[in-house]
Amino acid sequence: MPLNTRSLQTTDTAGAATDGGLPAGEERAETAAEPPRGPTPPSESAGEAADPASGTTAEPEHDAVSVRGPADGDATAEASGPQSDGDPATGHAAEQRTEGDEGRAEGEPTEAAGAPTDGAADAPSDATAEDGAAAADGEAGTAHSERGASPEAGLPSAARPRRLRLRAWRTDHPVAARVLGITVTVLAGALVVASFLLPNRSDLRPTAFVRIPVEALIGAVVLTALPRRSRLVAAWLGGIALGVLTLLSLLDIGFYQYLGRGFNVILDWPLFSDAYSYLEDTLGGPGALGVLVVAVALALVVPAVSALATVRLSNVMARHRATTTRTVLVLSMVWMTCTALSLQISGIQLASDNTVTLLRARAENLRATIRDEREFGRTAQADAFGNTPGSQLVPDLRGKDMIFTFIESYGRSAVEDPIMAPGVDKTLDDSTQALAKAGFHAKSGWLTSATYGASSWLGHSTFMSGLWVNNQNRYRTVTASDHLTLTEAFKKTGAWNTVGVMPGVQKGWPEAKWYGLDKVYNAFQLGYKGPKFSWSTMPDQYTLEQFQKRVHGKKHDKPLTSFVILTSSHQPWAPIPKMVDWDQLGNGSIFDSIEKAGTEPADIIADSTRSKEEYGKSIQYSVTALTQWLERYGNDDTVLVFLGDHQPISRVSGNHASRDVPCAIVAKDPKVLDKIADWGWTDGLRPAHNAPVWKMSSFRDRFLTAYGSTPNPSKH
């Protein structure tokens, strides 16, 4: 029968139910039948548990017993003391009442007499899946008094189930349990809020994390309004999604650092294999494996921890719905006020919609990627010189040995940054004078690369094809087409042989056919027996010497068009080769002692200033090797075009650097440079700060036009 808050259903010795007041100080378990009478060993009594390991007997616990009243379906009477305030960390009676209310509000069935109440039924789930180590500890004592002594009560503490040991610890250390619970909850809240506010750039200012995320307010409203099971499902799924978004933001940070752009979830997955190869060359096999293990661990741990934190917060909010509702209402008003007044802190809006903005940007990026794939395929088919006969291509360069050379990571920062520029500019000026003494002259300008920090092949293909190849999908599309490259244009005339010297190629390279190269020398075909310099397979000086011996210096029936990639200035710029006597290069073993005495990558990789210094030295080395080679082996018919493929990573060039790279044309024949007099380029190897800046994709058509080629477009 229903009882009021002053009455309790009890049983007599015959097992019949009677109604009566609960005497002061007397404690009755809410059970269906009274246990057998008679003496009971201390370890089996309902109110205490003996611990053989310690030799002590625990005092009986006096917990609240939840019963149902006629007014609201739930009332709590205490057998031995005043009503508790329901602290969630200590598990007093008010918490059980709140959980019970929640269960009944959500349509859960009413417990029969002798069964645990809703609050007690939820306790194991809360303690394990919902609230973790800080769940209410008072439910253990209540369950004990309601069901009788547990069979494990007399076991040593080490032999008890983990759940009972945790409850016993919380009972014995209520203050520590409360502090631990509050700490874990605060950390969970901080993690969730930080995930919502995490920028996707490397500029992580502390003020970015003191804003109010509107996504958190919306999530709190949704989770608080849902019934228990739906709330748990939503919290788990939402937490995992938030963890995935956090991982994507971290990937964005890394990609902006190394590539100057965010992570593309459609196109960029193949780049991870290249990144791992780079780590192997830089850090060695064990170091690369360690980084891989950490990356995989983060990919698994971040969503899991985010989900656990979200579930914990959802449980806390559900237990304190009124407080949560008031807090969300106040913070929502503050958020709207900050938005309306555009209030900022250190230039950052206090009202944040960071996650929504990033999701919108990612969705647009996906649509743009899919749309770009279709449009670029049509663009690649159109070519201003696609149908030009070979006889009408570059007639003003007939008889010249053409050399197109890329210097790895040779960017504008090398020429203008206050740390790197003094050494690099001196090298460029000294080399200009040395070349002039040998009869060579140069003009130089700026080209804006299609890539930044890495992915050199995008810069190579952009320059050679005249198309803006700024992602991997475009690269696959253009290299599968018949779009004319500069080297292919020379080959098409029938007046040149073509060759590629690629010390960075260490596997199959089918793109050679698209470039129109008759022969390619890769890293294994240049006879090098010396040490690698981090990623670079061999020093540039050795590469150029082998180019001379195997290609340029040999007699040939036709002039050569050569495509040469120099790699010594590839990151991490440690160790760096040094120039040696050209006649002493041999098989490259002379570089053993130089490599051993060089700087270790780990010594500079996290130091921006040292990275800049070593990067500048690597550019000086590459420019010196190339210009000395030209002085030593160039002739009246040699024409050299050299440039950088992209800027170095932001640790060296800065977070807001341009994508410009220097480009120079060097020749002895004055007619060659006269053809580009109207370009406005600077005399010498060092372009002026205000020299013309073109997109790298515009160079091919300008170059072909300057040297007499006749446009004859191909159709879509």
Residue range 426-431: average pLDDT?
97
| CA distance linking residue 452 with residue 462, whole number of Å | 13
Give the pair of three-digit tokens for residue 601. Answer: 């990558």
Write the CB contacts of 674 (distance below 8 Å, at least 6 apart in sequence).
none
Give the pair of three-digit tokens for residue 477. Answer: 């599309």
Q: pLDDT band for position 87 (50/70/90)? A: very low
Q: pLDDT band for position 17 (50/70/90)? A: very low
3-state class (DSSP) for residue 73? coil
pLDDT of residue 605: 83
| Other Cβ atoms within 10 Å of 341 Cβ, number | 10
pLDDT of residue 478: 94
pLDDT of residue 84: 37
DSSP type of residue 707: T
pLDDT in tens, 159-199: 456 677 778 888 888 888 899 989 999 999 999 999 999 99
Write the CB contacts of 123 (distance below 8 Å, at least 6 apart in sequence).
91, 99, 135, 136, 139, 143
pLDDT of residue 125: 40
pLDDT in tens, 555-598: 888 999 999 999 999 999 999 999 999 999 999 999 999 999 99
pLDDT of residue 463: 97
| CA distance linking residue 107 with residue 34, whole number of Å | 31
| CA distance linking residue 29 with residue 96, whole number of Å | 16
DSSP type of residue 134: G
pLDDT in tens, 463-513: 999 999 999 889 999 999 999 999 999 999 999 999 999 999 988 899 999
pLDDT of residue 284: 76
- The larger pLDDT score, comparing residue 374 to residue 116, is at 374
| CA distance linking residue 496 with residue 79, whole number of Å | 102
pLDDT at 692 over 50: yes
Write the CB contacts of 78 (distance below 8 Å, at least 6 apart in sequence).
62, 64, 65, 84, 93
Q: By mean pLDDT, which of 274-278, 551-555, 631-635 is the weakest?
A: 274-278
For residue 8, what are the β-bridge partners? 20
Q: By mean pLDDT, which of 269-283, 343-357, 586-600 is the weakest?
A: 269-283
Residue-by-residue DSSP string for 371-439: HHHHHHHHHHH-BTTTT--GGGSSGGGTT-EEEEEEETT--HHHHH-TTTHHHHHHHHHHHHHHHHHTT
pLDDT of residue 156: 53
**What pTM, to 2 d.p., does this model score?**
0.71
pLDDT in tens, 297-329: 999 999 999 999 999 999 999 999 999 999 999
Closest-CA residue to 460 (of 584, 644, 236, 234) = 644
Structural contact between residues 206 and 156, judged by C-beta atoms closer than 8 angstroms = no
Q: pLDDT band for position 88 (50/70/90)? A: very low
pLDDT in tens, 357-382: 999 999 998 888 888 888 888 888 88
pLDDT in tens, 25-62: 333 333 333 444 444 443 333 333 333 333 333 333 33
Provide the sign of the torsion angle of the four alpha carbons 632, 633, 638, 639, taken in this order: negative
pLDDT of residue 249: 93
The top-scoring range by mean pLDDT among 84-98, 109-123, 124-138, 259-273 is 259-273
DSSP type of residue 482: -
Look over the chain and give the mean of its residue pLDDT values, rounded to a whole number: 80
Q: pLDDT band for position 142 (50/70/90)? A: very low
3-state class (DSSP) for residue 50? strand
